Amino acid sequence: MDYFPLFCQLKGRACLLVGAGDVAERKARLLLDAGAALTVVALDFTDAFERWAESGQLQKIEGEFAASQLDDKWLVIAATDSDTLNMQVSEAAEARRIFCNLVDAPEQASFIMPSIIDRSPLMIAVSSGGNAPVLARLMRERLEATLPLHLGRLAELAGSLRQRVKQHYSDGMTRRRWWEKLFNHQRLAQSLANNDIPQSEAFIEQLFAQPIEEQGEVVLVGAGPGDASLLTLKALQQMQLADVVVYDRLVSDEVLNLVRRDAERIFVGKQAGNHCVPQEQINQILVEQAQRGKRVVRLKGGDPFIFGRGGEELEVLAEAGIGFSVVPGITAASGCSAYSGIPLTHRDHAQSLRLITGHAKKDSSLDWPCLAQGKQTLVFYMGLSQAGEIQHQLTHHGLAVDTPVALIENGTTPAQKVVTGELSQLSELATQVKSPSLIIVGGVVALREKLNWFSSAEANPQPLAL
């Protein structure tokens, strides 16, 4: 360990900043945010320093640095454009055993300033020991993007509950499980994010009232169309928190690899004409796992509420009194069309978009006359086996036989395959692809030849994994 990580309490403590340029301005903001009693010494000051001094936020000393200015200081930062002066400050601080930071010279500093993620009172610091500050900044940005803004309020809430939890639960293991439930409670997190205090308090009372082992819940998570980089941040967070993951065949291996390693995985894959696990049994699995106190993630390809039977599963959970929440995902229509260079709407070709299931319940039928209207885009999910019927019904009800169509197999994945043609060829084109495939019908498909290069993998390279 090159540096000992330490969080300092500077509120009301005297600190010195030598220099008042742009770099020093950034350091001053951090010290002021920490509540330091800040003194700044410099020959010239930026406008920000002048404003801070006028408002009484810091004390200005206009002139040369003198070692005596370090008296009674807790720490000092040398942020001038003179290496010689910075070293003088460092040596004077060292002689007085005062921690000193030198900008752009970490090897000569007695402390370094990390990249900070501020979710006060939760603080996260990232440092490369001064070796690669840009890398530390990139890592901070990655972490910043994945951490919800409400974490600070959650930490404050936890602080206010510590004594009550200690009195309510006698042993440490039970307390630990209760805290895990609190921090992983998706609906509580949402209420905090919405600043809904009554709802937050209701969830807390519910946590105290129920036995720990009975507080399971289910989160329906949209896994997107295949490419793991299309997962939402919230989806990834839930996958990392899951005790149990129930998933189907539309969830790609790339996505599944991001699930918490020690989570139990239950495969309930379905394939057209071959339902290895009936829907009723899937519903029962979700209920039983939640009743055991597990945090269950129901991972569904695309979006749970777009032909994913998410609504049906939630109905069962609601009837069983199981808590649930939903994380939307990028649906196949959006992802597959974007990766194929096909805009779903376009002022010259389509003013409306219809998402259609290729196999509705047996006692229902589609409104084919309405679907056969022009100036719209039709996207058929799970319609590959019904391609001939789709072609017949649309042409029979007046849609032009030369209407462009596209079939997209394994959309957004490295194995993506796109076949295009006209509506009169749909049944024949369907023999050239395999399930899972999406069918797009409409004038927008004609734009693929012009736009496909811009949606190719070469034009959208993946970022370097850090």
417 is catalytic: no
Distance between CA atoms of residues 376 and 153, nearest Å: 46
Query: CA-CA distance, 270 to 281, in Å (whole number)?
Result: 12
Q: One of 60, 83, 270, 417 is an active-site residue; which one?
A: 270
Q: Say whether 224 sits in a helix, a strand or coil.
A: strand
Distance CA 52, CA 72 (A): 22
SS3 403: coil
Of 125, 124, 26, 116, residue with least CA distance to 77: 26
Helices (H), 126-267: 133-146, 151-168, 172-183, 186-193, 197-209, 233-241, 253-256
Contact present, 221 and 297 (Cβ < 8 Å) = yes
Q: What's the rounded Cα separation, in Å, for the pair 268 and 281?
A: 9
Name the 3-class secondary structure at 391.
helix
Q: Quick check: 220 and 310 in contact, CB under 8 A?
A: yes
Residues contributing to the annotated binding site for S-adenosyl-L-methionine:
225, 301-303, 306, 331-332, 382, 411
Q: How far apart are CA 355 and CA 286, in angstroms?
A: 27
For helices 172-183 and 197-209, angle between their N-to-C axes, nearest 10 degrees:
150
Non-local (6+) Cβ contacts of 12 within 8 A are 35, 36, 37
CA-based nearest residue to 301, from 260, 343, 270:
270
- What is Dmax (Cα atoms) for the chain? 93
- Yes or no: say if 224 and 230 are a contact pair by the CB < 8 Å rule: yes
Q: What is the spatial distance between Cα 325 and Cα 190, in angstroms, rounded to a whole number?
A: 10
**Which residue of the set 27, 248, 294, 300 is catalytic?**
248
Query: How many angstroms separate the CA atoms of 178 and 184, rounded?
Result: 10
> What 3-state class would DSSP assign to 29?
helix
248 included as an active-site residue: yes
- Spatial CB neighbours of 316, under 8 Å, sequence gap ≥ 6: 283, 286, 287
Q: Count the neighbouring beta carbons within 10 Å of the beta carbon of residue 431.
A: 11
Instruction: For residue 94, give the H/E element and its range.
Output: helix 83-95
Nearest to 385 by CA among 367, 407, 416: 407
Specify binding-site residues.
Answer: 22-23, 43-44, 225, 301-303, 306, 331-332, 382, 411
Residue 125 phi/psi, 5-degree rounding, is -120, 140
Supply the residues annotated as catalytic.
248, 270
